[in-house]
Amino acid sequence: MMINGVSVVTTTWNERENIEKLILAIRNVLQQVPHEIIVVDDSSQDGTIQVAKRLADVAVTKTREGQTKGLLYGMRLAKFPVIVTIDADLENDPQHIPLLLQQAAVFDVVVASRTVLPRISEIVTSKTLGKLVGVTDTLSNFRVYRREAVSNFALRGGETFGAEFLVIAKKNGLRIGEIMYYPPLRRKRPRIGGTIKANLRILWALIKSLMLYLF
């Protein structure tokens, strides 16, 4: 598949210390490919948006609604036929983007799945919803999408940490693939909270996603 251009979308919430590093790393990896970087800021309070506006091609602020809605908002702004989504916390290495793009020749959606899932809730999600949609890491939002494949996506489940995108793709008959990568250590203060809070939020997202899949 000839890559005519790539739109890279990330969402941020208080990522001032990371967003510059991420954008520069993406620019370096995609320097031979026409691309744009879209930052959707979830009403950060640390000045993230000011850094993003200086370095990204598109940087917008919206009401804080979570990662899933933020990613879809950014994907709808994309101008290129291939969209890459990536976390802003530097836990997704942009060096894997070329491999994701290669798989876009075969699949409509490709997930960069982690070889190690750090939370029990993520493991449970992998063994349930992951089996249904055909990937081992349904909570990784390090993905590539064909733009036409997501043009009609509509969210019903609220925050599912991106799992609903895979449910929609599967129910619409889209081709879903994955690559595997070994993740770095998780940062001390993850966006979705500490261990107990994060596990509860992920399990709730799993329940909603399973309901959306079944009904």
Strand, coil or helix: what is 21?
Answer: helix
For residue 102, tell me if it sits in a domain. Answer: yes
For residue 207, tell me if it sits in a domain. Answer: yes
Which domain, by its residues, includes 86? Answer: 6-214
**C-beta of residue 132 within 8 angstroms of C-beta of residue 209:** no
Cα separation, 151 vs 142, whole angstroms: 18
For residue 92, tell me if it sits in a domain. Answer: yes
**C-beta of residue 151 within 8 angstroms of C-beta of residue 113:** no
Which residue shows structure tokens 């089996």?
Answer: 131
Digit-coded pLDDT (tens) for 29-42: 999 999 999 999 99
Digit-coded pLDDT (tens) for 49-93: 999 999 999 999 999 999 999 999 999 999 999 999 999 999 999
For residue 200, tell me if it sits in a domain. Answer: yes
State the DSSP code for 162: T
pLDDT at position 147 is 95
Q: Where does residue 6 rank: exposed (0-12), middle (13-18), buried (19+ CB within 10 A)?
A: buried
For residue 201, tell me if it sits in a domain. Answer: yes
**103 has pLDDT over 90:** yes
Total number of domains constituting the chain: 1
For residue 1, tell me if it sits in a domain. Answer: no
Q: What is the CATH number of the domain that holds 195?
A: 3.90.550.10
Side-chain half-sphere CA neighbours of 5 within 13 A: 10
For residue 22, tell me if it sits in a domain. Answer: yes
pLDDT at position 185 is 72
